[in-house]
Structure 1
Amino acid sequence: MAKEFSRTDRLADALQRLLAHALQFEVRDPRVGMVNINEVVVSRDLSYAKVYVTFVDRDTDQQRQEALHALNNAAGFLRSLAAKQLDIRVTPRLQFIFDETSTRGQALSNLIDKAVASDRAHHSDESSDE
């Protein structure tokens, strides 16, 4: 019988839960603010983990970059917390990456809404002309 999840998937899930808790209660850097962890991707050899994050209260690109820099500076501390709580031989090095999918999705949704509204206005103008 095959395993449902690979070891990398299980480790990624455990890291995501642990990091979410640690970022909320352990990291006290005011530059970080509120962070959502969208996904954790662990390399096949379990030595690296890419942590994709979004920031709730950071609107400008400069604020996001400062928060991302603060997170990457705290990566060693977070890795040591993970090493203490997870029972694994090698704790992955953490790399935090800003995930732009939500902002890009919102921008695309706005473009679609504008196109639909423009199309409706165009069709209503044609029907009133007849």
Structure 2
Amino acid sequence: MAEYRTERVGRLIQEKIGSLIVEGKVKDPRVDTFLSITRVAVSRDLSYADCYVSSYKSAGLATGVEGLQSAAGFIQSQLAAMMHIRHTPRLRFHEDQGIREGFELVQKIDSLVNTNSETPNDGQ
């Protein structure tokens, strides 16, 4: 039961932080609207929420995460006003490399397929 609650709170935090970023309510200049919250992992006791961030522009990801981390107090206060839970989790922001790593993996697979199709078969 507690696992369902942490997932639900995580999805809600992801949605609310995403809307704060898109609406431009986070005034830090490092936080770009191209940032996206890909997933949120909430601790079992709801004291921490690890927010994983990706960006369409890979160059601004590290600075965007720094901007979100410095605005974490403001974002947490906004979440407290929007969400109806007793304690709002402390937010920690991390770069999500999963999308980039997945893209690189697909490129490697494609290059292997292309090299295998270019090599001649020895009569097989």
Using the size of structure 2 for normalisation, the TM-score is 0.89
Q: Percent identity?
A: 34
Q: Of 113, 116, 120, which aligns to 1:116? A: 113
What corresponds to 2:11 in structure 1? Answer: 13
Q: Distance in 2 between matches of 1:28 and 1:56?
A: 20
Q: Of 75, 99, 111, which aligns to 1:78? A: 75
Alignment partner of 1:44: what SS?
coil
Q: Unaligned regions of 5+ residues in structure 1, if any?
A: none
Equivalent residues in 2 for 1:1-130 (5 A)? 6-25=4-23, 26-33=25-32, 34-57=34-57, 59-60=58-59, 63-123=60-120, 126=122
Deviation at 1:98, TM superposition (A): 0.7
Deviations 1:27-72 (CA, angstroms, capped at 9, x unpaired): 1333221111111111000010001110112x33xx3221111110
Q: Distance in 2 between matches of 1:46 and 1:55?
A: 26
Residues 65, 94 of structure 2: 8 Å contact kept = yes
Alignment partner of 1:123: what SS?
coil
After superposing on structure 2, the runs of 4+ consecutive aligned residues of structure 1 that deviate more than 3 Å are: none
Q: Unaligned regions of 5+ residues in structure 2, if any?
A: none
Q: Distance in 2 between matches of 1:99 and 1:7?
A: 23
Give the number of aligned pairs: 121
Computing the radius of gyration over CA atoms, which structure comes out larger, 1 or 2?
1
Deviation at 1:97, TM superposition (A): 0.8
CA RMSD of aligned residues (A): 1.7
